[in-house]
């Protein structure tokens, strides 16, 4: 007898439909799985057989079973097909009485006891099953919260194989799970360190506000203990909240990677990723023999913080150039070609030299000129060209700390950032893939940046003084546009150009 239901397979952060077909006839006991399965899928026959017996579905008869996972030319990976194979096998051997199996989709790994275990990539699979019109999908109980944010399809949580079979045969009822993602996003509040704790550092605080308001990449250079990491760790407190669409987009990536924080099921706050400087190029970019998203994709719509920037392997830093420019990562392997979104804000921090005290007024630098040059050249010119805002961080003298007032709280800064983001949302409405000034296309800059006469003259002087590349020139304009947005001004003035060009001075100071 033939039985069929539906599941999904992951390619990048998207899912495609897989039809699970099981055919059985009485005869010599055999179990074959076809349809380009990997090792984990082939091993499903042992997990399924044992789970069926331990769930009370042993049979005196022997069956020759053939499982086909269609389409046959798409590689199937992982244990996500255990549950649908087991249910179809029960139907094909007449141990499950239901006529509507083809209306259901199923995903789940089986334990030998019959328990249904959590799987990765549930969110894009549920969205794909909704697209093809399935009325319900059976998912592991531990995946139900994540899956239930998708509307338009019933999400049925099951704990065991027997519970799934009894639900399908009508013996028990299980209420569909539903979670209102809009309410969760609305209720999300960014927690953590507050800028009110920071004394002094007004220049860096202003640079960070500008960077977050326009989504610009940022580099901080300063001596050890100047406060670079402390300041960067406070950036999440001024990030604008995510929209529902952004939350779904980011959650799909984390679902595929299996990187939900603390066992959570979806992401309602902008990611803040801070990998260690020993991370590999694949760890940053993504890939591997079975491609998974890297740090640049896990930071999508959020912040990627690279502390000790110059200590990262040169190869790892150079792979950042394409995602910084294009906003996505193409990973090609013999087994698969995947595309991962990676529209993130890069925040980097580094010392000016190996000992860290070049230019420090209280410590003497012990490095030779050759050591300094070699250290700074770990960050290449093309990569530096893609960083819009470069700022020096000077340590606040300890004797001055007690006399300085507390800084402006993050809540006040965040209000200004959100006001600037609202202006940009309206400006780029209808432009695909453009949400902030940092995303703006070069061809649109003349229309977006309405320069006053004095501003046009200032940008000409800036080009001559700094000898900027065409890319750096565009980035100065984008930062100037953000500076005007923070003031609520439609025109880019001379002061905005001076403000933006001032954040390119480290090009001349350290890399000239």
DSSP letter string over 143-210? GHHHHTT--SSEEEEESBHHHHHHHHTTSS--PPB---HHHHHHH----S--GGG--S-HHHHHHHHH
Position 286 pLDDT exceeds 80: yes
Using a 10 angstrom Cβ sphere, with 0-12 exposed, 13-18 middle and 19 or more buried, the burial of residue 188 is middle
What integer best gives the mean pLDDT of the chain?
89
pLDDT category at 464 given cuts 50, 70, 90 is confident
Share of the chain above pLDDT 70, in %: 95
- Range of lowest pLDDT (49-53, 165-169, 300-304, 379-383): 379-383
Position 419 pLDDT exceeds 90: yes
pLDDT at 488: 93
**Distance in angstroms (rounded) separating the CA atoms of residues 269 and 236:** 9
Please state whether the predicted TM-score (pTM) of the whole model is above 0.75: yes
Share of the chain above pLDDT 90, in %: 63
pLDDT tens digit sequence for 30-48: 999 999 999 999 999 999 9
If one compares 82 and 94, the residue with the highest pLDDT of the two is 82
CA atoms within 13 A on the CB side of 369: 0
Helix (H, G, I), strand (E, B) or coil at 290: coil
pLDDT at 259: 52
- Range of lowest pLDDT (115-124, 233-242, 377-386): 377-386
Position 263 pLDDT exceeds 60: no
**Distance in angstroms (rounded) separating the CA atoms of residues 91 and 110:** 17
Least Cα distance to 6 among 106, 99, 83 occurs for 106
Instruction: Give 366's DSSP letter.
Output: -
Under 8 Å between Cβ of 109 and 118 = yes
**Distance in angstroms (rounded) separating the CA atoms of residues 56 and 86:** 13
> What is the Cα 446 distance to its own chain's centre?
31
Least Cα distance to 112 among 79, 141, 89, 78 occurs for 79
Under 8 Å between Cβ of 254 and 283 = no
Torsion of CA 189, 190, 196, 199, to 10 degrees: 180
Position 190 pLDDT exceeds 70: no
pLDDT at 335: 61
pLDDT at 189: 67
pLDDT category at 261 given cuts 50, 70, 90 is very low
**Distance in angstroms (rounded) separating the CA atoms of residues 46 and 65:** 13
pLDDT at 70: 96
pLDDT category at 334 given cuts 50, 70, 90 is low
């Amino acid at each position: 007898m033939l039985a069929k239901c539906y599941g999904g397979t992951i390619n990048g952060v998207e899912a495609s439909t897989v039809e699970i077909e099981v055919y059985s006839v009485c005869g010599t006991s055999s179990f074959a799985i076809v349809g380009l399965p990997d090792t984990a899928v082939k091993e499903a026959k042992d997990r399924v057989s044992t789970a069926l017996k331990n769930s009370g579905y042993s049979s005196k008869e022997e069956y020759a079973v053939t499982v086909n996972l269609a389409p046959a030319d798409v590689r199937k990976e992982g244990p996500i097909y255990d549950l649908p194979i087991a249910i179809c096998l029960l139907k094909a051997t007449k141990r499950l009485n239901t006529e509507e199996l083809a209306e259901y989709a199923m995903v789940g790994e089986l334990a030998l006891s019959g328990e249904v275990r959590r799987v990765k990539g549930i969110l894009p699979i549920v969205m794909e099953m909704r697209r093809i019109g399935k009325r319900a999908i059976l998912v592991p109980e531990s995946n139900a919260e994540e899956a239930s944010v998708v509307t338009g399809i019933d999400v049925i949580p099951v704990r065991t194989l027997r519970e799934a079979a009894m639900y399908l045969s009508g013996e028990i009822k299980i209420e569909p799970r539903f979670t209102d993602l809009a309410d969760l996003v609305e209720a999300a509040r960014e927690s953590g360190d507050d800028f009110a704790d920071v004394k002094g550092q007004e220049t860096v605080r202003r640079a960070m506000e500008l960077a977050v308001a326009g989504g610009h990449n940022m580099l901080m250079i300063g001596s050890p203990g100047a406060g670079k990491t402390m300041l960067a760790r406070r950036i999440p407190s001024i990030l604008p909240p995510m929209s529902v669409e952004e939350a779904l987009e980011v959650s799909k990536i984390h679902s595929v990677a299996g990187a939900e924080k603390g066992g959570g099921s979806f992401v309602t706050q902008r990611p803040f990723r801070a990998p260690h400087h020993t991370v590999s190029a694949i760890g940053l970019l993504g890939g591997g023999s079975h491609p998974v998203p890297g740090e640049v994709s896990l930071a999508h719509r959020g912040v990627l913080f690279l502390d000790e920037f110059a200590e990262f392997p040169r190869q790892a830093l150079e792979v950042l150039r394409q995602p910084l420019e294009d906003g996505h990562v193409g990973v090609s392997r013999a087994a698969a070609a995947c595309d991962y979104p990676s529209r993130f804000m890069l925040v980097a921090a580094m010392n000016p030299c190996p000992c860290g005290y070049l230019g420090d007024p209280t410590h003497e630098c012990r490095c030779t000129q050759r050591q300094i040059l070699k250290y700074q050249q770990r960050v290449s010119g093309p990569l530096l060209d893609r960083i819009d805002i470069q700022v020096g961080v000077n340590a606040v003298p300890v004797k001055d700390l007690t006399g300085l007032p507390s800084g402006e709280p993050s809540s006040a800064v965040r209000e200004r950032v959100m006001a600037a983001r609202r202006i940009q949302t309206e400006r780029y409405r209808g432009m695909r893939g453009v949400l902030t000034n940092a995303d703006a296309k070069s061809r649109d800059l003349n229309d977006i940046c309405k320069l006053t006469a004095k501003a046009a003259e200032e940008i000409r002087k800036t080009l001559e003084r700094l000898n900027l590349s065409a890319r750096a020139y565009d980035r100065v304009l984008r930062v100037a546009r953000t500076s005007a947005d923070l003031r609520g001004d439609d025109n880019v003035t001379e002061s905005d150009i001076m403000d933006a060009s001032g954040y390119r001075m480290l090009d001349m100071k350290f890399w000239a």
